[in-house]
Chain A
Amino acid sequence: MSKAKSPVVVTVTDAALNDIHAVADRLAAAGLAVDRVLPVTGVITGTCPAGKKAALGAVDGVHAVEDDAQVQLPPPDAESH
């Protein structure tokens, strides 16, 4: 599984917000398979090999790189939702 890619969420800095597509290009060059670029909220999502996260974090304009947090609703017959 070492070559498996996992989903990551990259937030960009306020300063880089107007230039988010350039940040996405730099992230792609650093190993991120870019899925979505969200210019208003300043988020870039995609997948990368586990070992590439630190390199992504060093890209100019990046605020943070985190593993995508999964959410799961309880089953429909659960006591609370």
Chain B
Amino acid sequence: MAKNKPKSDKSDTDPPDAPPPGGAAGDGLTTGRYIIIFKDEAVDDPAAAKALLSDVAGIREVGVASDYAESAVAADDLADAEAMYFPTLGIAVVSGEPTALQAMSASTAEADSPILAIEPEYLAFARHALGASQLDYLRGYKSAVDHLIAQLTEGGDSAELAEVPAAGFVDTPQFTWGLQATRVTSSRFNGQGVKVAVLDTGLDLQHPDFQGRAVVSRSFIPGQAVQDGNGHGTHCIGTACGPRQPAGVRRYGVAFGASIFVGKVLSNQGSGSTAGIVAGIEWAVTSGCRVISMSLGADIDQKLQQYEVPIQRALNAGSLVVAAAGNNANRPANPGFVGAPANADAALAVAALDGQLQVARFSARSSSITGVGGRVNVAGPGVGVFSSLPVARGRHGSLNGTSMATPHVAGIAALWCQATGAIGAALANRLLQSARPLGQTADLGAGLVQAPQ
């Protein structure tokens, strides 16, 4: 993760913000206490933070959360101390007069001040209990905090969004529309050092676009070699890991620096079983793959333990399974449902978008039956997706499907892994939190996946 460092031109001139006037208790939204947020470099020195609170703000009773069992601080402890310092979070909760805190802000205005910001402590509400005006207020607050974070974060962030052209995203001579819409084209990252497994029909190992690449492969289909006699696998691998500059065609691949692990779990006829798929997952996990792309599934609207359990254990071991939500919708009449294995709790279920960033006609909606796991989590480009095909099928071509959206997400997951070091659930969070919101969360989850910049 990139460290939060204030930009030098800001910290030299602007003091930390004084407590906003709206912070006094009695407005129903704040507690009367204040939150002092220390800078990253000050977090590791609780004694200094304590001394600062004591010397500058005159606060004598400073509790430190790590002094309490398992850092669990009861409300009574908070009430007794004038200030409570949380060293892990680098924040202090202070009961003090606004004037004292303003003095603190002023006295620590130098660039080497250990304080990032002082803000009123807000009450937290269960979402359904809030009135519209309170919600608007909090949304405004959230927006301001998001803006602050975006300003303070260097790299590894994707605060900006690609402008949607009036006619939608389209393939250019340089790039597919999907790479443009997900901002892969401007990303500094390429998946270098990250192992990506694609469990599918294999790969055309003679394809010129993959010559010279690090490819590890294994077939889990009895009697069939890894060589892709179908085309589906070669197309999916192309999107996830295709080259930076394929000869004669536009760039279509996301993580051109990643190591490719080809697990053939579907036959040349396109069929497979859990036995082979889970064996492929096990192989990918033990091989150290941080991302496992699975553009496969069955239209089953129920939880299957045969996917639920191994995919959870894969995630716990640091391997994130990204799975196609399914193509069982026929919109608008029939929105379909997220099938298995995408409906496993620990799998990221991927929906398909077109170049206008509209949900694809066939893309499955969140299930109303299978709960959390059955939700669409994120969306990727899945209509008119140009990628590699086996040489015998013409080398390149365009296909539609949540199968095509899934390797976009898998490749971008590899970029986030490279950019931040995040794996497992933390990597999933990176993908979801950086996605481009598009509404329609039942269809599109967090929105369109975005590459780190």
Contact = CB atoms under 8 A, between A and B. Distances in A.
A72 B271 contact: yes
Contact of A80 (B270, B297, B317, B401): B401
A9 B311 CA distance: 14
A69 B344 CA distance: 14
A66 B308 CA distance: 12
A70 B296 CA distance: 10
Contacts of A41: 278, 281-282, 285, 309-310, 313-314
Contacts of B296: 71, 73
Interface residues of A, number: 28
Interface of A: 7, 9, 11, 17, 35-36, 38-43, 45, 63-64, 66, 68-76, 79-81
Nearest to A46: B275
Choose among B274, B296, B297, B352 the residue with the greatest number of A CB atoms under 10 Å from its CB. Answer: B274
Given A41-B282, A45-B278, A81-B403, A71 B271 contact: yes
A74 B270 contact: yes
> Nearest 6 CB-CB pairs, A to B?
A73-B270, A41-B310, A81-B401, A64-B305, A9-B306, A45-B275
Contact of A70 (B231, B272, B295, B360): B272
17 contacts: A41-B278, A41-B282, A41-B309, A43-B282, A43-B309, A45-B274, A68-B306, A69-B298, A69-B307, A69-B340, A70-B298, A71-B272, A71-B277, A80-B401, A80-B402, A80-B403, A81-B235
Nearest to B236: A81
A7 B272 CA distance: 12
B279 interface: yes
B204 to A, nearest CB: 14
B47 to A, nearest CB: 41
Contacts of A81: 232, 235, 295, 327, 399-401, 403-404
B362 A36 contact: no
A78 B285 CA distance: 32
Contacts, number: 118
Contact of A69 (B295, B304, B401): B304
Given A74-B270, A74-B327, 8 more contacts: A9-B274, A38-B279, A41-B282, A42-B309, A68-B306, A73-B230, A81-B232, A81-B327
Contacts of A40: 282, 285-286, 313-314, 317
B400 A79 contact: yes
Nearest to A39: B282
B322 to A, nearest CB: 16
Contacts of B278: 9, 38, 41, 43, 45
Contacts of B277: 71
A66 B400 contact: no
Interface string B245-284: 0000000000000000000001000111111011101100
Nearest to A13: B309
B282 A73 contact: no
Choose among B270, B393, B402 the residue with the greatest number of A CB atoms under 10 Å from its CB. Answer: B270
A9 B277 CA distance: 11
Contacts of B201: 73
A24 B277 CA distance: 19
B220 to A, nearest CB: 9
A36 B306 CA distance: 14
Choose among A43, A64, A76, A79 the residue with the greatest number of B CB atoms under 10 Å from its CB. Answer: A43
A23 to B, nearest CB: 13
B265 to A, nearest CB: 9
A7 B281 contact: no
Interface in B285-334: 285-286, 295-298, 300, 304-310, 313-314, 317, 327
A72 B269 CA distance: 8
B339 to A, nearest CB: 9
Contacts of A80: 327, 352, 360, 362, 400-403
Interface string B327-362: 100000000000010000000000010000000101
A69 B300 CA distance: 9
A75 to B, nearest CB: 7
